Amino acid sequence: MRALLVTSVGVTCAAALTLPLAAPASSAPVLSAASARPPSLTTEPGTDTTDTSGTSRTTAPDTITSDTTAPDGAEPRAAKSAPAPAGSTQSLPLAPLAVPSNRVAGAPAVQGLPQRDARPFSLVGVVWDDAEAELHGTVQVRTRATGTTRWSDWQDVETHNADHAADLGSAEREGRTVRGATAPLWVGDSDGVEVRVRPESPAAPESQDRAATPVPLPEGMRLELVDPGEDPAPEPARGAPANRAAVPAVFADTPPTAALPEVLTAEIAAASAVNAEVAELGASVIPALTQAETAESVNLAPGAKPYIGPRPRIVTRKGWGADEKLRERNFGYTKSVKAAFVHHSATGNNYTCKQAPSVLRSIYRYHVKSSGWRDFGYNFAVDKCGNIYEGRAGGVTKAVLGAHTLGFNTNTMGIAVLGSYGSTNPPAAAVTAVSKLTAWKLGLFGANPKGKVTLVSGGSNKYKKGVKVKMNVISGHRDGFATECPGARLYKKLGTARTSSAKLQGR
C-alpha cells in the first residue's frame, strides 16, 4: 500500500441535478455541476491590486481516481446557479520606503506601503517568490477599522512560517507554485493599511578589513489582504422550510409544500461525501456521540477493548463556509495517524468565537491563494471557545495528508488552536477540545495519547531526512522543527492534554 494515495470523488457534471419542485422535507441535498471558474489571476485596470478570487487546478502525479455518480432517480433539470465564491484577496507589491537618516551603510532598504485605502479585508500577510528563501527581518502592519478614521498601533507579523508547510519533495510542494510567506494575522474588518518590512542589520564583519554583510530581503514581496466573505446561512431545522419568506396573498389558499432542497456544487458534495459514514451529505455539523455509541461505530476484534474517546462535535468545512473551488480537487492520504502535532495559528487573539469561521476562511484562502498550497494546511482547528472544526478536506475519520509540520506530515495530523500563545495562556476550553479530538481520532488508529511513537523525518531544520525520531504521540510543533510554535504557554499545557485524552480513551 502506498504511503500517499490521492483520490477524487466526483459527481456527474453534464447537467445540474435537482429534485421535483414539491420535494419532501426530508430530501437529501441535491448535487449540481460547478459553475464556470474565473481566471486564477485577474488584474484590475488602473490599480496595482491583483484580485485572486479563483484558482487553477493541478492534479498530483501518480494518482488513483474514482468517480461517484449522482443518486439513482435524480431528475436532470436546470438548477439555479451556485453562489459565487465567498471572499477575495488583494495582492499589493511592496516597494522601497524613504531611506531613514540612521540607515547602516550597505543595508537593504526598508520595504512596505504607506497608508492607503483598500477594499474591505480582515486578515493580512506578506508573501514572496521563493518558498525556500527566509525573511530575515521584521514585518509590521497598521490597519484602519472599516468606516472610521481610527488606525491601530503597529502589530508584529510572525515571519518564521516556513515550518508550516508540505514536506520537501512532496507532490504538493513540487507540483505547485509555492511561495514563501509570513504567518497570517487577523486584524478584523478594515479598509486601510500601512506596512513596513525592516531587514536585519548587517552581520558584523569577521575583521576590520571586511565590510558588513547585508542581509537581503526576499524578492517579489507582496502584501496580501484577505476578505473572508460572508458567513454561510444557518441550516434550517429538520423538516422546516429553508426559505421562510412571506407567501404572496394570491397563493394563500395553496396547500403548503416543503422548500426546495439545497443545491450542492460538485466540489461541496465531494468534500461532504467523504464524511458519509459520520454525517448526512451537506451537513454543517458532525454530531457528538457518547462513549458507547462511538465504541459501537468502530470495527474491533471480538473481545478487544475499544480505547477510543467519545466522538466530539465537529463543524464541517461546509459549516464554516469553505469555498471548495479554491482547493485542489483531489484528496491526499497517508497510511495512518500515529501522532498529533499541536500548533497555534499565530493569527493573534483579537477574534471572537463568532468570528472563528471567518478566521478559518481567511487562513484557508491565504494558504491556497497566497501561499500556493493545495488546501488548508491543518487537519483540524480549535477556537478559543473549544469548538472543533474540520480542516483539510478528505474525511475526518481518515488519514488525510496535511501540510502542518515540515518533515513530519506523513502518518500524523495537525491541530491548530486559533490564536497566539507565546505569552498568553490558552483558554481551558481550547485545551479540553484538543484532548477530546485526540482521544477520538488517535483512538481510531489505536494510538495511546500518553505514549511514544517513532517517526521518520522527511527533512527539517531539526532532523535530517531519514532520521528516526522518538517523540510523544501528542507533540508540539517545536518537537519536530526548531520553532516557537505552538507558543510557550500552549506547549506547557500539552501534558494536561495527554493525560485527559488518555482518560477519555479509558486508559
**Contact yes or no for 445/337 (Cβ under 8 A):** yes
302 vs 128, residue with greater confidence: 128
Report, as an integer, the average pLDDT of 444-465.
90
Q: Considering the domain boundaries, does residue 189 fall inside one?
A: yes
Q: Confidence class of residue 76 from pLDDT cuts 50, 70 and 90?
A: very low
pLDDT at 13: 39
Residues 324 and 214 in one domain: no
109 vs 477, residue with greater confidence: 477
The yes-or-no verdict on residue 305 having pLDDT over 60 is yes
Which residue, 227, 245, 274, sits at the end of a domain? 227
Q: Considering the domain boundaries, does residue 332 fall inside one?
A: yes
pLDDT at 210: 61
Report, as an integer, the average pLDDT of 285-314.
86
- 261 three-class SS: coil
The yes-or-no verdict on residue 471 having pLDDT over 50 is yes
d(CA 458, CA 401) in angstroms, rounded, equals: 13
Q: Considering the domain boundaries, does residue 307 fall inside one?
A: yes
Exposure letters 28-46 (e unless 16+ CB within 10 A, then b): bbbbbbbeeeeeeeeeeee
Residues 469 and 359 in one domain: yes
Q: Considering the domain boundaries, does residue 381 fall inside one?
A: yes
Grid cell digits, residue 421? 500563545
Residues 343 and 467 in one domain: yes
Grid cell digits, residue 275? 464524511
CATH number of the domain enclosing 385: 3.40.80.10
Q: Considering the domain boundaries, does residue 369 fall inside one?
A: yes
Q: Considering the domain boundaries, does residue 447 fall inside one?
A: yes
The yes-or-no verdict on residue 71 having pLDDT over 50 is no
The yes-or-no verdict on residue 20 having pLDDT over 90 is no
Domain containing residue 392: 283-504
Residue with the three cell numbers 474565473: 38
**Of the candidates 34, 30, 35, the residue with the CA atom closest to the CA atom of residue 73:** 30
- Give me the number of domains the chain comprises: 2
pLDDT at 104: 56
What does the pLDDT look like over 185-244, one tens digit per residue? 999 999 999 999 999 876 666 656 565 666 889 999 999 999 999 998 876 655 544 444
pLDDT at 127: 98
Residues 146 and 217 in one domain: yes
**Contact yes or no for 344/371 (Cβ under 8 A):** no
- The secondary structure of residue 71, as a DSSP letter, is P
The yes-or-no verdict on residue 16 having pLDDT over 60 is no
pLDDT at 55: 40
Which residue, 180, 201, 227, sits at the end of a domain? 227
Residues 189 and 316 in one domain: no
Strand partners, 452: 472
pLDDT > 90: what percent of the chain?
60
Which residue, 209, 227, 245, sits at the end of a domain? 227
The yes-or-no verdict on residue 132 having pLDDT over 50 is yes
Residues 408 and 500 in one domain: yes
Residues 182 and 96 in one domain: yes
Residues 361 and 429 in one domain: yes
Residues 483 and 343 in one domain: yes
**Of the candidates 308, 286, 285, 287, the residue with the CA atom closest to the CA atom of residue 296:** 308
Residues 410 and 317 in one domain: yes
**Contact yes or no for 200/136 (Cβ under 8 A):** yes
Averaged pLDDT of the chain = 80
Grid cell digits, residue 194? 500601512
d(CA 235, CA 319) in angstroms, rounded, equals: 9
Q: Considering the domain boundaries, does residue 38 fall inside one?
A: no
d(CA 283, CA 420) in angstroms, rounded, equals: 30
Residues 219 and 288 in one domain: no
Report, as an integer, the average pLDDT of 284-292.
96
pLDDT at 177: 85
**Of the candidates 136, 202, 255, 185, the residue with the CA atom closest to the CA atom of residue 419:** 185
Residue 97 CA, distance from chain mean position: 33
Exposure letters 220-235 (e unless 16+ CB within 10 A, then b): ebbbbbbbbbeebeee
pTM of the complete model: 0.79
d(CA 260, CA 24) in angstroms, rounded, equals: 9
pLDDT at 372: 94
Report, as an integer, the average pLDDT of 52-57.
44
Q: Considering the domain boundaries, does residue 432 fall inside one?
A: yes
Report, as an integer, the average pLDDT of 97-126.
84
d(CA 424, CA 493) in angstroms, rounded, equals: 12
pLDDT at 464: 87
Does 38 sit behind a cis peptide bond, omega within 30 degrees of 0 on the bond before it? Answer: no
Residues 356 and 420 in one domain: yes
Q: Which helix (H) or strand (E) holds 497?
A: helix 494-504
CA distances from 441 to 119, 373, 414 (A): 40, 24, 11
pLDDT at 149: 96
